[in-house]
Structure 1
Amino acid sequence: MEDEQSRAKQAFPDLSDEEVYGFHCRFLVRVANDILSLQSRKFVIDDNNRDILRFLLLYFNECPLAEEVFPGRGYKLHKNLILMGAVGVGKTLLMQIFSEYLRRVGNPRYFQCVSVTQVVNHYKLHNNMDLYTYNEEDLRGFQINPYHICLNDIGMDNAPFYGVDTLSVMNDFLHARNELWSNLAISDRRFTYLTTNLNVKQLGDTFKRKDAFGRTVDRFKTFNVIDCPGESRR
């Protein structure tokens, strides 16, 4: 286990070094502006997102300093992630930026961004969510091969989608991803990231409609819940 943890740490830059941290900050902004270039606008860092950006940069690079960015909130490196906030505050954009940043630096925490509609479409076509949960169709050495994933805008599209109950599909998705998160070894863990326009109470009330026992809501305890304040940036 110690050898495994040592190898895992070597895959990440040491962001406790101010010079290394500064480099990654600048590179992150460059990635953000590359993404926004098609919209002819610049990425803006302000009081609403500055600390969130610092936390996410440290978190995705598994730097323990991440747990000190928001004292008293209990954020932990080993937890999954939910970004909550009003429409347009930049939740999805932040995750797209970090996805591209992690890909470019070759970070093992690289994740793919998908929408609720994509997952439901896949379920409708294949009658399963294997691609977004266990990924058993891409087995390696008889081991399931899931990947880190960010699911955007959960809890909003709850009406039947072409005959498929979206909320039930999301419940099954979260159940399966929680199994992956909690049961695998540290180096093999697969993280789940979520964005939503709902607050904690609204999200809980929404998922209780299909889960009378509250199991899905209880699994939200395995997430760092990040509030994204401010007005729309669009």
Structure 2
Amino acid sequence: MTHFDYHYLLQQVQEKGSDLYRRDFVIDDIDRPVVMKLLAYFLRDGEVAAKENVDLHKGLLLTGPVGCGKTSIMRILSNFSLPDHRPMLKSSVEISLEFTDMGNDVIMRYSRKAFNPYRRMPYVHCFDDLGLEPLVNYWGNKINLMSQILFTRYNLMHSHGMITHVITRLNAAELETIYGDHVRSRMREMFNLIAFQPDSRDKRK
């Protein structure tokens, strides 16, 4: 038995979407299973999460077609999270641009220095548009910046319980092509895969 009223919570999600985005914001029936899983995750509802095969000790890999509302839903659902579990959302493309200005400090900012300085709690980061970021130049060499950040956060997950979320339009094979099989294998340990249906409506139209 769960202590939460998910019918009421879905109404709250729609109201929050209307406040943040547009007045006619609605959760389509086809998207409800995704929203239910995300709600159970952010509410730390162990009963429903277990039923939905969602591991509360892992992060989220949210995937789906272009325009299905991945980023919007993640922003809305994070409002239902406890402060310690609320993710800070950042575009992978923006992180690559930061690296151009700040260099190696950017990797540290999103990995080994991603801790609350007063409580030593690891920050939860959500990296949007994973796989769309360009390679960056580092001392004359092209490097895959997000691969390094994810690899370091994987190690910190095991040593400090650091949780990472990612949002991407790419599938597992495409991610492996970009980041290699060593990162993909670690992704299986880091993330719950939650996918919008391929025919989920384009919310931008």
TM-score (norm 2): 0.83
Compare 197-206 and 132-141 and name the one that shifted more: 132-141
In the aligned structure 1, how far is the partner of 2:56 from the partner of 2:116? 28
* Aligned partner of 2:51 among 62, 68, 92: 68
* Aligned partner of 2:64 among 85, 88, 112: 85
**SS of structure 1 residue aligned to 2:14:** helix
* 1:99-149 C-alpha deviation (Å, 9 max, x unpaired): 3343xxx542111110012212332222222222122696347x4x54111
Question: Percent identity between the aligned chains?
Answer: 25
> What's 1:7 paired with?
none
Over 3 Å counting, the alpha-carbon distance change for 1:231 and 1:24 in structure 2 is closer
* Aligned partner of 2:36 among 54, 62, 69: 54
5+ long unaligned stretches in structure 1: 1-14, 209-213
* Aligned partner of 1:148 among 117, 124, 132: 124
> What's 2:192 paired with?
224
How do residues 180-199 of structure 1 correspond to structure 2 at under 5 angstroms? 180-184=156-160, 189-199=161-171
Give the CA RMSD over aligned residues.
2.7
In the aligned structure 1, how far is the partner of 2:109 from the partner of 2:4? 39
In the aligned structure 2, how far is the partner of 1:153 from the partner of 1:165? 23
5+ long unaligned stretches in structure 2: none
Q: Which amino acid aligns with 1:35?
A: L
2:17 aligned with 1:32, yes or no?
yes
Over 3 Å counting, the alpha-carbon distance change for 1:162 and 1:227 in structure 2 is same
In the aligned structure 1, how far is the partner of 2:92 from the partner of 2:142? 8
How far did 1:29 drift?
2.5
Query: Contact 1:99–1:113 (CA<8 Å) still a contact in 2?
Result: no
* Aligned partner of 2:79 among 93, 100, 109: 100
* 1:11-31 C-alpha deviation (Å, 9 max, x unpaired): xxxx81244x45543333222
**SS of structure 1 residue aligned to 2:39:** helix
Over 3 Å counting, the alpha-carbon distance change for 1:63 and 1:163 in structure 2 is same
In the aligned structure 2, how far is the partner of 1:97 from the partner of 1:165? 39
Runs of 4+ in 1 over 3 A off after TM superposition: 21-26, 136-141, 158-167
How far did 1:215 drift?
2.2
Query: Contact 1:159–1:165 (CA<8 Å) still a contact in 2?
Result: no
TM-score (norm 1): 0.74
Across the two proteins, how many residue pairs are aligned to each other? 198
Q: Which amino acid aligns with 2:18?
A: N
* 1:132-171 C-alpha deviation (Å, 9 max, x unpaired): 2122696347x4x541111001112334479997861111
